[in-house]
Amino acid sequence: MTQLMNENGIRCDGRRVDQLRNISIKVGVLKNADGSAYIEFGKNKILAGVFGPRDVHPKHMANQDSGILRCRYHMSPFSVTERKNPAPSRREIEISKVIKEALLPAVILKDFPRTVVDVFIEVLQADGGTRCAALDAASLALADAGIPMRDLVSACAAGKVADQIVLDINNEEDQEGQADMPIAYMPNLGKITLMQLDGILTPAEYQKCVQTGINGCKLVYEIQRKALMDKYFTNEAQ
Amino acid sequence: MTQLMNENGIRCDGRRVDQLRNISIKVGVLKNADGSAYIEFGKNKILAGVFGPRDVHPKHMANQDSGILRCRYHMSPFSVTERKNPAPSRREIEISKVIKEALLPAVILKDFPRTVVDVFIEVLQADGGTRCAALDAASLALADAGIPMRDLVSACAAGKVADQIVLDINNEEDQEGQADMPIAYMPNLGKITLMQLDGILTPAEYQKCVQTGINGCKLVYEIQRKALMDKYFTNEAQ
Amino acid sequence: MTQLMNENGIRCDGRRVDQLRNISIKVGVLKNADGSAYIEFGKNKILAGVFGPRDVHPKHMANQDSGILRCRYHMSPFSVTERKNPAPSRREIEISKVIKEALLPAVILKDFPRTVVDVFIEVLQADGGTRCAALDAASLALADAGIPMRDLVSACAAGKVADQIVLDINNEEDQEGQADMPIAYMPNLGKITLMQLDGILTPAEYQKCVQTGINGCKLVYEIQRKALMDKYFTNEAQ
Amino acid sequence: MANSVILAQLKREQILELLKEGKRLDGRGFEDQRPLSIDVGVIPKANGSARVRLGDTEIVTGVKIQPDKPFPDLGDKGILICTAEILPLADPNTEPGPPSEEVIELARVVDRGIRETEMLDLHQLVLIENKSVIGIFIDSSITDANGNLFDACSYASVAALLSCTVPKYEIKDEAPVLVEGVTSKPPVKTIPVSITMARIGDHIIVDPSSYEEACMDARLTITTNTEGNICALQKGGIDGFTFEQVVRCSEIALSVGTKIRKQLEKLM
Amino acid sequence: MANSVILAQLKREQILELLKEGKRLDGRGFEDQRPLSIDVGVIPKANGSARVRLGDTEIVTGVKIQPDKPFPDLGDKGILICTAEILPLADPNTEPGPPSEEVIELARVVDRGIRETEMLDLHQLVLIENKSVIGIFIDSSITDANGNLFDACSYASVAALLSCTVPKYEIKDEAPVLVEGVTSKPPVKTIPVSITMARIGDHIIVDPSSYEEACMDARLTITTNTEGNICALQKGGIDGFTFEQVVRCSEIALSVGTKIRKQLEKLM
Amino acid sequence: MANSVILAQLKREQILELLKEGKRLDGRGFEDQRPLSIDVGVIPKANGSARVRLGDTEIVTGVKIQPDKPFPDLGDKGILICTAEILPLADPNTEPGPPSEEVIELARVVDRGIRETEMLDLHQLVLIENKSVIGIFIDSSITDANGNLFDACSYASVAALLSCTVPKYEIKDEAPVLVEGVTSKPPVKTIPVSITMARIGDHIIVDPSSYEEACMDARLTITTNTEGNICALQKGGIDGFTFEQVVRCSEIALSVGTKIRKQLEKLM
């Protein structure tokens, strides 16, 4: 059993309770996708690519009144310690659904009836908090593809470790900690679009945990904005 | 090895050779289905639900000149002693087919071209003779859905146990007896619509077994009629 | 370990280095298929059947400007020493693809837009060199079905055994030899339409191996022609 | 399709209009659940079972308990697996086939509600560490799908577990053998209660019906334990929640859950 | 589609008209089978094999015999598994893919014909009780599908079994090891014969061709054993049989089956 | 559809016209590859990994090494398995789902390139003969698909293998146990280099781009080893090659391969 926090409140990877892991994001990394982003969030390494709006196959899935959003979250076989079977697991299918429902509040698909926007996410290396990191990249890939959006979606987990509410749970804290609460948030609209919880929290801890997560999302948002600007400034400079 | 019959010709569950297990049927038990029935036949507990006539998907399965009938017989994982894998087994697929072919002679689908009537059967608890009990419920669910029918289909197994031809084989008799012959019958039209046999019968035993099964079907028919009347009398009384 | 060649250059099954196994082919062996052929090539026993040109299902696979070719290579469960699972293996899927691409240069499908020609191959007994023997039968089944062709496709493997380049590798030579190179060839057009290699060859051996394989294909071609003539002479004689 | 979209739009306007007046389509208060009935022991061949009716939603859940191999790296714990199937007779829109993403989510949320509250002490289900453990399979067959499958399926699963009898296995020649006639109660530590809420406009309502689900903006399922803690969450739907709303939802989940927990406790 | 329905209707009328005169489309009597040829040993790599031609229907069946684990609760018996595939080259309407319900029924009916007649003494195929047994896999590849696959597939499977040689396995270090060069006959106790009959109008005909199958009302397959007993049945088709008809069918199955059984007995 | 066919036809004419002048669409010579960059160690959680960019084609390959059971009849060898997936984000025409025949061919050709050159001494990966061996899984995720996946995937797989560290396993109680902190280099004997060539008209070009692949007549992939031998071949495409062309291709594969091999050797 790892000691998850020392007497000075420093976590097993050296962070303070309210500190994010290192995050670096690059927008527009793929040639074929209409929009894309690559994120390194701690040791997570995740690619997101977006195609669309484009025709829906099979056709009966199309909606006459609006575009639809589809999402596939997938892990490469080498992304985790034990080799993962390449076929999608039940966990991956559920995460695909909650990610889709976390992005839906942000995208505006009314003007693209009978089309689909496909969001494909590939986890190349996983390290705790993949769904949040995946969402951060997917949100930017949608923006990069030019899909109209009400807001970016920023995501970050909070949790409970060594009886403390902490920001951005890493892999060890997820395995051996007391609670993990992934949150996705639209910072300008003030809306939580993904929220899950595994673990036990008192009502007071619950409130603090949500608030901590939202604060983390706001920090992530600034990094996302910068990544987006980096791409478009660079383009304009050319 | 259980003793399947005592010296007085009484079977392991206390029945005489020509006696059915207890049967109770309720028609119209589901809210969403167009027609439904629930049967308890001995320890069998089976639900049948019918949808249709409705559009066929995929469309290439439709028949321009008549409605079609589809049937799915399925067992819940907890319905048998060893937990059953939820995916349909080869046995369930075969039984779905013979049940469909046992119901087809009774339903009149000529007036519903390009549509399908779907019969869904769920075995919640299995105890020998599930396909017959399932048919008894399915037939009533079709009637409850208002599908035009030439006759009800009534089903019951006969078999050979302790060298005697007996009516309505139970689970122990099926496992350790000498022969099991499920029969479905349209009582007013006098037609056998399902017949199978596992076991060894002399030609004379064979005739007696078929006759015993048909007699059982006639007994079941009276119980089915009563269940149907119970529903519609009750409705009229309201 | 078998001795694959003796001091007189005679191989384990008694052949010389440039000698084919016994081949017998019969064209038009199936009643339902539009064209068919049965080949025994050494101990290989393989059936090929062709349907088409016919409508494509599913329709989105159709090509507006030309017919398409589909190919399925499949092994019966009893065709090999250890019983084979009936579901198609990755090996069977790859071989289906290379066989299709070996036949495509020969067939003329321009005049059959929106249709498909289906080639179905069943290996009833396998003995090394199945893909070549399968191609020899498939090519004749296409001709028997009346599909317009630029040339027959003739196939035969060459390889390296006991440090010698030899024609038509058998099962033992495939398992324990040094190289196996299946080749398909259009003899009149002088084109190689299938070529694979497993094993290690020097550049000089490589050239000799290809030449040996092509020579074998030419020998096979004569046997194919005779089989085709046997069928159509017989028909005319009736 | 176009027609049903227009109908759904009209229905949403009607429901919203009523909610502004503090009313729901079926007359319930915002924090009222539909009538809940729980019958246990309905499948005697299972080790535990329950039929739950929550309004017009109906579910039969069976528990099977049998020896199994532990998961790798979890050799000190028994196995717990939840599955669900929306039977095709339960819903005109469900087709037979592999589970949809909706059903996979449903089963996983029910599973986490039981697992994360630590309802069962899985350490008590080990026969030989790393080699042989007791597996508990909780399979739910949804027989009538009329809204809020999350809570109905959770109640049926918890009720089937609470009422089950655990057979005894002994190890002989390194293999588990059933000891006939000896059973025990399951090692229950707390009772999880799932409360699902829908947001429609600015209104939070408990236990949405299928009409309400069809036009809701967002959904939140919160599972609490006997000690008054919050143990599992799942947000769904096409829109989000404010911070204030998710706090409010947690309060509702705790208060409404208390009543349900009393109903479940009687089954122990 | 419409055209083929009209054609089928015309064909049915023509067939019925002939049957009233006591004739069949191909000139056979009502209780005549099409010519049957059986070649065994056609797949030397299999432990047993047969090619059967019944009229224009053709099937190749191979038997593979190899050590396996017994089924749970059946540790005192060897394993017997029948499969069938209608090869896509056998029939323009068959597509490659997982087995259809027709093919699953076919394989299961053939399997029950062999199993329920107790053709093989499966108890003789046990190496270590509950741990290691001999498995017999009977796989049929249908190469030309032209009616009455049930009987053709049954004859091919029985012939392949009768002509097979069973390799010998010994237990070394708890694992089965092949003893080279030692084989035995399979433990055959009786010979099952399957007879399939079609009802068209009031007429019962044996061994229906594909034309007759396309317009039959109902089908009955009856398997009898050497001792003159009835051991397996399967009804199919869109209509039913009267009591008198199923009794008549059993008499036909016994009388016609005797001829076929003699043809099969020669293979032992 | 019609439009894209016309466009492909126009593109083919343009490409052919250029080839006659000795030029390619992107300015390369006939035997020039696109720029190749190889980064190893990009996935620290894998035992070996590489990101390869070949022009605009990009692939990430990870190697996982873990104990496994040997294949039957191959009990004296470790296991080597190559897989590939064209991620749906890599290509607008790729849908999620089971691998297509194109991807299965790709993975099998990469596998044979490594296996048939005998790059790895698989005999060194046995823990207990016939019972326990080391398995090497080489999984490639294609992240941008822009032509010549065969070579790019082969380089990424070989680079990931060359740069991997093999963990040490010991046998305790007949089961393999990881020895922490002890690793070794993989048992590499030679370096395979795959060179893929396309024939368009009478021209042979190396490393076709996706435009060139769309209008090529035929494709040939040749893998050579360090000793200058030819070890694996795969022909593809809708037309064929003459004898002279396949001889010419083998010469190109050897000469162009030498440069690539030097780039790979640096990773050892």
Phi, psi of C156 (to 5 degrees): -170, 145
F2: confidence class by pLDDT, cuts 50, 70, 90: very low
Q: Would A7 be classed as within a structural domain?
A: no
Residue found by looking up tokens 């949320």 in the block? D109
For all residues of chain F together, what is the average pLDDT? Answer: 94
B171-200: average pLDDT: 96
E162: confidence class by pLDDT, cuts 50, 70, 90: very high
Q: Which residues of C touch F229 (CB under 8 A)?
A: 200-203
ω before F99 within 30° of 0 (cis)?
A: no
For residue C134, the model assigns a pLDDT of 98
For residue B233, the model assigns a pLDDT of 79
Nearest to E136 by CA among E80, E217, E74, E183: E80
C122 vs E: CB within 8 A: yes
A93-101: average pLDDT: 98
Question: Which chains would you list as touching F if contact means 3+ CB atom pairs under 8 Å?
Answer: A, C
CB pairs under 8 A between A and F: 95
- Rounded Cα gap, residues A140 and A103, in angstroms: 11
Q: Which residues of C touch E92 (CB under 8 A)?
A: 32-33, 51, 54
Tens of pLDDT, residue by residue over A120-177, are 999 999 999 999 999 999 999 999 999 999 999 999 999 999 999 999 999 999 988 9
3-state SS, one letter per residue, for C73-118 = EEECCCCCCCCCCCCCCHHHHHHHHHHHHHHCCCECCCCCCCEEEE
**Contact (CB<8Å) A78/F90:** no
Of A49, A77, A118, the CB nearest to F64: A77
Cβ-Cβ contacts under 8 Å for A112 (sequence gap 6 or more): A52, A53, A66, A67
Residue of C nearest to F252 (CA): C203
Q: Would B4 be classed as within a structural domain?
A: no
- Rounded Cα gap, residues F141 and F84, in angstroms: 6
Q: Are A184 and A134 in contact (CB under 8 A)?
A: no
**Contact (CB<8Å) E44/C86:** no
What is the least distance, in Å, from the CA of B79 to any CA of chain D?
A: 7
For all residues of chain B together, what is the average pLDDT? Answer: 95
Selected residue of E93, E229, E245 to mutate for chain B interface (largest B Cβ count, 10 A): E229
Selected residue of D7, D105, D226 to mutate for chain A interface (largest A Cβ count, 10 A): D105
Tens of pLDDT, residue by residue over E214-227, are 999 999 999 999 99
For residue A93, the model assigns a pLDDT of 98
For residue E50, the model assigns a pLDDT of 98
**Contact (CB<8Å) B91/E117:** no
Tens of pLDDT, residue by residue over D29-85, are 999 999 999 999 999 999 999 999 999 999 999 999 999 999 988 889 999 999 999
**Contact (CB<8Å) B32/D137:** no
For residue B213, the model assigns a pLDDT of 98
One-letter amino acid for residue A213 of the chain: G
Q: Which residues of B touch D91 (CB under 8 A)?
A: 32
What is the least distance, in Å, from the CA of C187 to any CA of chain F?
A: 11
Q: Which residues of A touch F64 (CB under 8 A)?
A: 77-78, 83
C187-192: average pLDDT: 98
For residue C60, the model assigns a pLDDT of 86
Residue of D nearest to A202 (CA): D229
Is the confidence at residue C238, as pLDDT, over 50? no
What is the least distance, in Å, from the CA of F243 to any CA of chain A?
A: 37
For residue C186, the model assigns a pLDDT of 98
For residue E103, the model assigns a pLDDT of 97
Tens of pLDDT, residue by residue over B14-25, are 999 999 999 999
Which residues, listed in sequence order, are joined to residue E197 by a DSSP beta bridge? E206, E220
B201 vs E: CB within 8 A: yes
Nearest to A43 by CA among A76, A21, A73, A17: A21
- Percent over 70 (pLDDT), chain A: 97
Tens of pLDDT, residue by residue over A182-195, are 999 999 999 999 99
B10 vs E: CB within 8 A: no
Q: Which residues of A touch F44 (CB under 8 A)?
A: 43, 125
The dihedral region occupied by A114, where left means phi > 0, alpha psi between -120 and 50, and beta the remainder, is left
C196 vs F: CB within 8 A: yes
Cβ-Cβ contacts under 8 Å for C156 (sequence gap 6 or more): C20, C129, C132, C167, C168, C182, C183, C213, C216, C217, C219, C220
D185-189: average pLDDT: 93
- Rounded Cα gap, residues D255 and A81, in angstroms: 42
CATH of the domain at C163: 3.30.230.70
Selected residue of B124, B130, B140, B172 to mutate for chain D interface (largest D Cβ count, 10 A): B124
Of D88, D91, D141, the CB nearest to B72: D88
β-pairing, A154-161 with A164-167? antiparallel
Q: Which residues of A touch F89 (CB under 8 A)?
A: 30, 32-33, 36, 47-51, 120-122
Is the confidence at residue E133, as pLDDT, over 50? yes
D105-109: average pLDDT: 98
C22-48: average pLDDT: 98
- Percent over 90 (pLDDT), chain D: 90
Selected residue of E39, E54, E136, E143 to mutate for chain C interface (largest C Cβ count, 10 A): E143
Tens of pLDDT, residue by residue over D111-130, are 999 999 999 999 999 999 88
Residue of B nearest to E220 (CA): B195
**Contact (CB<8Å) D242/A203:** no
B149 vs E: CB within 8 A: no
CB pairs under 8 A between A and D: 103
F1: confidence class by pLDDT, cuts 50, 70, 90: very low
Is the confidence at residue C98, as pLDDT, over 60? yes
Q: Could you tell me the residue range of the domain that residue B108 belongs to?
A: 23-230
Q: Would C11 be classed as within a structural domain?
A: no
Selected residue of E87, E134, E149, E161 to mutate for chain C interface (largest C Cβ count, 10 A): E87
A9-18: average pLDDT: 94
Question: Which chains would you list as touching B if contact means 3+ CB atom pairs under 8 Å?
Answer: D, E
For residue D126, the model assigns a pLDDT of 94
D151-175: average pLDDT: 95
Q: Cα C135–E63–E73 angle (5° rounding)? A: 130
Of C83, C88, C122, the CB nearest to E137: C83
Q: Which residues of E touch C76 (CB under 8 A)?
A: 60, 62, 85, 139, 141
Q: Would C94 be classed as within a structural domain?
A: yes
Is the confidence at residue F175, as pLDDT, over 90? no
Tens of pLDDT, residue by residue over E174-228, are 889 999 999 999 999 999 999 999 999 999 999 999 999 999 999 999 999 999 9
Tens of pLDDT, residue by residue over F49-60, are 999 999 999 999
Q: Are A76 and F141 in contact (CB under 8 A)?
A: yes
For residue E235, the model assigns a pLDDT of 98
Helical spans, DSSP H, in chain C: 90-103, 130-144, 171-176, 203-237
Tens of pLDDT, residue by residue over B82-123, are 999 999 999 999 999 999 999 999 999 999 999 999 999 999
Q: Which residues of C touch F101 (CB under 8 A)?
A: 93-94, 96-97
- Rounded Cα gap, residues A184 and A156, in angstroms: 6
For residue D2, the model assigns a pLDDT of 42
Tens of pLDDT, residue by residue over F83-128, are 999 999 999 999 899 999 999 999 999 999 999 999 999 999 999 9
Residue of E nearest to B212 (CA): E243
**Contact (CB<8Å) F116/C198:** yes
Those residues of chain F whose CB sits closer than 8 Å to some CB in chain A are 42-46, 49, 56, 58, 60-64, 66, 83, 85, 87-92, 95-96, 137, 139, 141, 143-146
E1: confidence class by pLDDT, cuts 50, 70, 90: very low
**Contact (CB<8Å) F143/A81:** no
Q: Do chains C and F touch (3 or more CB pairs under 8 A)?
A: yes
The total of other beta-carbon atoms located within 10 Å of residue C179's CB is 27
Overall number of domains in chain C: 1
Q: Which residues of F touch A122 (CB under 8 A)?
A: 87, 89, 141, 143
**Contact (CB<8Å) F250/C190:** no
**Contact (CB<8Å) E87/C79:** no
Which residues, listed in sequence order, are joined to residue D60 by a DSSP beta bridge? D51, D141
Asked if the interface predicted TM-score (ipTM) of this complex is over 0.90, the answer is: yes
Question: Which chains would you list as touching E if contact means 3+ CB atom pairs under 8 Å?
Answer: B, C
Q: Would B62 be classed as within a structural domain?
A: yes
Of E42, E56, E64, the CB nearest to C77: E64
Retrieve residue C53's tokens.
């040109």
**Contact (CB<8Å) A210/D243:** yes
C194-203: average pLDDT: 97
- Rounded Cα gap, residues C92 and F101, in angstroms: 10
For residue F174, the model assigns a pLDDT of 81
